[in-house]
Structure 1
Amino acid sequence: MKVILLGNAGSGKSTLAKKLMAKQLAARLSLDEVAFQCGTERRSLQDSLADVKRFIANNESWIIEGCYADIVEPVLPYCEELIFLNPGVEACIAQCRARPWEPEKFPSSREQDENLENLIEWVRSYEIREDEYGLRSHRALFDSFQGKKREFNHPNQYGSVS
């Protein structure tokens, strides 16, 4: 398995990655782990890509998940399937509100809660953003990918992934 999960924050990428890993042993890389340094400072694309390519080289079976079209595009040739999670902004917001504390991203649940409104504002702008995190960039990547690909527009569809 060599799968890339692409979508907005709250779209269900991490949840789907866990479901896939329960069915088949695979290493998982959240692009959040390679995209940033010192909190909110974005690393150079070159450094992020080097880490992703090292991850790919070191793992026979893997799942990469994130919202970074600029990191995903150069590694698409390595994947066997691209899955675009596009359940809509309101579903993503609901998932963000329901998500448990993510200790890999925040030192405490209080700090995560304090950031929630910023995250929701960012998620809400998905359909109009012109950057690598927005729907336009994700759609362009998905539409241009020539390999196996699927788009899910509702979280209920995620259970059908094998």
Structure 2
Amino acid sequence: MRRVAIIGNAGSGKSTLARRIAAECGATVLDLDTVAWEPGKPAAPRASAAAVREVRAFCSAHAAWVIEGCYGDLVEAVLDGAVELVFLNLSEADCVRQCRGRAWEPHKWKTKEAQDAHLDCLLDWVRAYYRRDGALSLAGHRAIFDRYAGPKREITQPAALPDLTAREA
């Protein structure tokens, strides 16, 4: 049974890594974007308590899971000492580059064109990650990572991502 929580900036590789880990161990993946926003309303945040309940319900319903997102508060809600925490702490330049090459995310956008129309907004958000405060920031993610006493890894280079799927037995 593998349980992994991945945090980091947009474009850091969270979704890609989550899919790789899940494929390796048969886990179910939860993209926290699907929980943090009201269904069908991507610009309307869901109430924090409701989002936390949904994440906890997902984790309870699956023996093996991977959750990923930039929502530090949602990740922290399921860290119990047995969850492996992965902090993708890539540079601004790496995250911007990866966002520019992002494949269409049909669970978030009706079309690739609609997604691309919001690229400048996403890139502004990515750049602000390194300066803002709170659960959606580098400072917030660093604090969560530093507080967590369970198994954890910090990745700072995109080249390190492929090797992360191998875990010691």
Distance 2:109 2:118 in 1: 9
Which ranges of structure 2 fall in alignment gaps of 5 or more residues? none
2:132 equivalent to 1:129: yes
Aligned twin of 1:59: 62
Match of 1:4 in 2: 5
106, 120, 134: which is aligned to 2:123?
Answer: 120
Return the alpha-carbon distance in structure 2 between the equivalents of residues 72 and 101 of structure 1.
24
Could you tell me which of 61, 83, 97 is aligned with 2:100? 97
Query: Aligned to 1:131, what secondary structure does the other structure show?
Result: coil
| Separation of aligned partners in 2, 1:68 and 1:78 | 19
User: What secondary structure is seen at the aligned counterpart in 1 of 2:153?
Assistant: strand
- The runs of at least 4 aligned residues of structure 1 exceeding 2 Å deviation read none
Structure 1 residues 106 and 145 mapped into 2: Cα distance closer, same or farther (>3 Å)?
Answer: same
Shift of 1:80: 2.2
Q: Is the 8 A contact 1:8 1:126 kept in 2?
A: yes
CA distance in 2: counterparts of 1:82 and 1:69, whole angstroms: 11
Query: Which amino acid in 1 is paired with 2:73?
Result: D
| Runs of 5+ unmatched residues, structure 1 | none
Higher helix share: 1
Shift of 1:153: 0.3
Q: What's the offset of the Cα at 1:127?
A: 0.9
The offset of 1:78, in angstroms, is: 6.5
Summarize deviations over 1:67-106 as a string: whole Å, max 9, x none: 0112111211165200000111110000100011111000
Residue-pair matches, total: 162
Measure the CA separation in 1 of the matches of 2:35 and 2:23.
Answer: 24
- The residue type equivalent to 1:14 in the other structure is S
Matched residue, 2:80: 77
RMSD, aligned CA: 1.0
In structure 2, C-alpha distance between the alignment counterparts of 1:28 and 1:48, rounded to whole Å = 16
When residues 57 and 78 of structure 1 are mapped into structure 2, their CA distance, relative to the original with a 3 A threshold, is farther
Is structure 2 residue 37 aligned with structure 1 residue 36?
Answer: yes
Maintained 8 Å contact 1:2/1:78? no
Residue 47 of structure 1 deviates from its aligned partner by 0.4
Are 2:95 and 1:86 aligned?
Answer: no
Match of 1:50 in 2: 53
Partner of 2:23: 22
- Asked whether 1:144 is paired with 2:147, we answer yes
Kindly indicate whether the alpha-carbon contact (under 8 Å) linking 2:8 and 2:70 is maintained by their aligned counterparts in 1. Answer: yes
Preserved CA contact (<8 Å) 2:10 2:95: yes
Per the alignment, in what secondary structure is the counterpart of residue 77 of structure 2? Answer: helix
Provide the C-alpha distance between the structure 2 equivalents of 1:132 and 1:149, rounded to a whole number of angstroms: 18
Indicate the SS of the match to 1:123. Answer: helix
